[in-house]
């Protein structure tokens, strides 16, 4: 039943009623010209201490009402916020100052009406998450784009060598966390049958050698061993059959990590959550299909206001967990939503499915990064939300620049 539901969710277009007739609503990826992020100069910095503790929740974060009262950042502020640190595998670190070109500052902030109050739980009502255990789904797009970060978070593949995740999975705002010194990314894989055959052949060879030795020692001993050997081998066979479909991770070292300066404490004041994203460059490229970046549309332009993401929640160890839900509210940089999630899924890429403007096909793109369960400041009081960082045109330009190393491939998003 779960497989049928998943197939329906990914294959049926969103319909609406118009004058009593059922018609397909036109949700399309509208390409936009994005600003250019240009590197101006790069400085060497001291190596980080890597002493911070991993923090999955933040405090005193600017909330919905607070976001609406914030002034639009000036160009000089944006240049500072979008400057970035790069940490390399050998522990060296640089700071790159950037310039922002072709920026059209929009003074209006996207807002909608919040529909209901929040409850202090990660799971809201009935747990609506799906554990993806069938390898037909697990190892195929879009689920195969989800990865596990060695610091305990999730991420998503955005190129053959790059992973998008949350900044706080690597850095707590003051220093890089302990586990990020030897950072690794785990790609989900299924143990192949060939591996099992190889192990069984090795076991069979060892058994043949053992039996030959026993034969030299005496027929009686050989006969006694043969009686129990069949049962043992059957048990091994059953055990091997069970483990053949067990998911595991192929771990790859991270070559470099890039985090916007806007995430660092004291740079943006109370709006650092807006910059809770990071890109990891893998030491070796993978061969999986990755997901493209997209610019986050407003809620009203999303089918059913619905978002989707998959990650590795801590309470379901070793399982890939998928969920979908509607976005309840938004600011210019954040989504506030009710998706059921537990720690471990933070850093997951949030995506949706819209029409490709050049083709009559639906296409999935990443439009936000799941920042996780966060405490935010609402009218001077702390309330909890499940928050995602939207990919705005500026963030699209920056992430694209990190992936390609230039702005030529990042003109439209």
Given pLDDT bands bounded at 50, 70 and 90, which one contains residue 107?
A: very low
Three-point CA angle 117, 119, 123, nearest 5°: 125
Q: Give me the count of residues in the chain.
A: 413
The answer on pLDDT for 389 being more than 90 is: yes
**Cβ distance 311 to 347 under 8 Å?**
yes
What pLDDT score does 1 carry? Answer: 45
Dist. CA 299–CA 327, nearest whole Å: 7
Q: Which residues pair with 42 in a beta bridge?
A: 96
Q: Is the pLDDT of residue 353 over 70?
A: yes
Residue 20 is predicted with a pLDDT of 38
pLDDT score for 95: 97
CA–centroid distance for 185 within its chain: 11
Query: Tens of pLDDT along 313-334?
Result: 878 777 888 888 888 788 888 8
More confident residue, 110 or 185: 185
Question: Per-domain residue ranges for the chain?
Answer: 22-115+122-189+248-404, 201-243
Q: What is the pLDDT of residue 330?
A: 84
With a pLDDT cut of 90, the percent of the chain lying above it is: 32
Highest-scoring range by mean pLDDT, 42-46, 98-102, 306-310, 371-375: 42-46
Residue 229 CB contacts under 8 Å (≥ 6 apart), including other chains: 207, 211
Q: List, in order, residues 6 or more apart from 397 with CB less than 8 Å away.
A: 34, 35, 36, 37, 407, 410, 413
C-alpha triplet 361, 159, 315: angle, nearest 5°: 90
Among residues 399, 408, 405, 401, which one has the least CA distance to residue 164?
Answer: 399
- Given a cut of 50, whether residue 118 has pLDDT beyond it is no
What's the angle, vertex CA 396, arms to CA 351 and CA 61, rounded to 5?
75
Give the Cα separation of 348 and 337 in Å (integer).
Answer: 14
CA distance 176 to 52: 6
Which pLDDT band holds residue 336 (cuts at 50, 70, 90)?
A: confident
Q: How far is CA 27 from CA 176, 294, 355, in A?
A: 40, 14, 6
Contact 279, 164 (CB under 8 A): yes
Stretch 222-249: mean pLDDT: 47
Question: What are 21-40's pLDDT values in tens digits?
Answer: 333 456 787 777 888 899 99
Of 136-150, 200-214, 246-260, 354-368, which range is least confident?
A: 200-214
Query: Any idea which of 123-132, 246-255, 388-397 has the lowest mean pLDDT?
Result: 123-132
User: What mean pLDDT is predicted for residues 95-118?
Assistant: 60
Say if residues 178 and 52 touch (Cβ distance below 8 Å).
Answer: yes
Which residue reads 């502020």 in tokens?
Answer: 77
Q: Determine the Cα angle at 88 with ends 368 and 101, to 5°.
A: 50
Measure the CA–CA gap between 408 and 400, rounded to whole angstroms. 10
Rounded to a whole number of angstroms, the distance between the first and last alpha carbons of the chain is 37
Check whether 277 has a pLDDT greater than 50: yes
pLDDT over 70, % of the chain: 65
Query: Helix, strand or coil for residue 301?
Result: helix
Q: Does the pLDDT value for residue 143 go beyond 80?
A: yes
Q: How far apart are CA 129 and CA 365, in angstroms?
A: 21
Identify which has the larger pLDDT, 398 or 246.
398
Pairwise CA distance, residues 302 & 110, whole Å: 14
pLDDT of residue 223: 45
Whether the model clears a pTM of 0.85, i.e. scores above it, the answer is: no
pLDDT at 108: 38
The pLDDT of residue 337 is 80
Q: Which overall architecture, per CATH, does domain 22-115+122-189+248-404 show?
A: Beta Barrel (2.40)
Spatial distance between the Cα atoms of 262 and 62, rounded to a whole number of angstroms: 14
- Mean predicted lDDT score pLDDT of the chain: 75
């Amino acid at each position: 039943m779960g497989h049928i539901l998943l197939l329906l969710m990914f294959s049926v277009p969103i319909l609406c009623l118009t004058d009593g007739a059922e018609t397909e609503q036109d949700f399309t990826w509208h390409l936009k010209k994005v600003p250019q992020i240009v590197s101006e100069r790069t400085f060497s910095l001291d190596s980080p201490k890597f002493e911070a503790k991993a923090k999955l929740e933040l405090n005193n974060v600017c909330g919905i009402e607070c976001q609406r009262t914030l002034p639009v950042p000036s160009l000089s502020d944006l240049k500072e916020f979008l400057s970035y640190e790069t940490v390399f595998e050998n522990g060296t670190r640089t700071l790159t100052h950037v310039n922002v070109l072709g920026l059209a500052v929009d003074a209006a902030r996207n807002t909608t009406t919040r529909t209901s109050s929040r409850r202090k739980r990660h799971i809201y009502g009935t747990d609506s998450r799906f554990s993806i255990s069938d390898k037909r789904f697990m190892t195929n797009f879009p689920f195969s784009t989800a990865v596990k970060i060695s610091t305990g978070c999730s991420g998503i593949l955005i190129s053959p060598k790059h992973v998008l995740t949350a900044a706080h999975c690597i850095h707590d705002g003051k220093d890089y966390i302990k586990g990020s010194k030897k950072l690794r990314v785990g790609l989900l894989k299924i143990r192949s049958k060939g591996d099992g055959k190889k192990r069984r052949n090795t076991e069979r060879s060892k058994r043949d050698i053992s039996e030959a030795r026993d034969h030299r020692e005496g027929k009686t001993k050989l006969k006694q061993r043969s009686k129990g050997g069949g049962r043992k081998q059957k048990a091994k066979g059953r055990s091997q059959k069970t483990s053949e479909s067990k998911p595991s991770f192929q771990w790859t070292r991270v070559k470099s990590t890039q985090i916007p300066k806007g995430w660092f404490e004291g740079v943006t004041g109370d709006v650092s959550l807006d910059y809770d994203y990071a890109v990891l460059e893998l030491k070796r490229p993978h061969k999986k299909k990755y997901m493209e970046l997209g610019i986050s549309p407003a809620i009203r332009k999303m089918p059913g206001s619905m978002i989707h993401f998959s990650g590795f929640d801590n309470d379901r160890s070793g399982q890939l967990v998928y969920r979908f839900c509607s976005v309840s509210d938004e600011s210019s940089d954040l989504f506030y939503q009710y998706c059921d999630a537990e720690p471990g899924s933070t850093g997951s890429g949030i995506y949706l499915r819209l029409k490709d403007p050049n083709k009559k096909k639906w296409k999935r793109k990443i439009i936000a990064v799941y920042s996780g369960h966060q405490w935010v400041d609402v009218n001077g009081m702390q309330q909890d939300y499940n928050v995602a960082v939207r990919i705005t045109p500026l963030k699209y330009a920056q992430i694209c620049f990190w992936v390609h190393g230039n702005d030529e491939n990042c003109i439209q998003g």
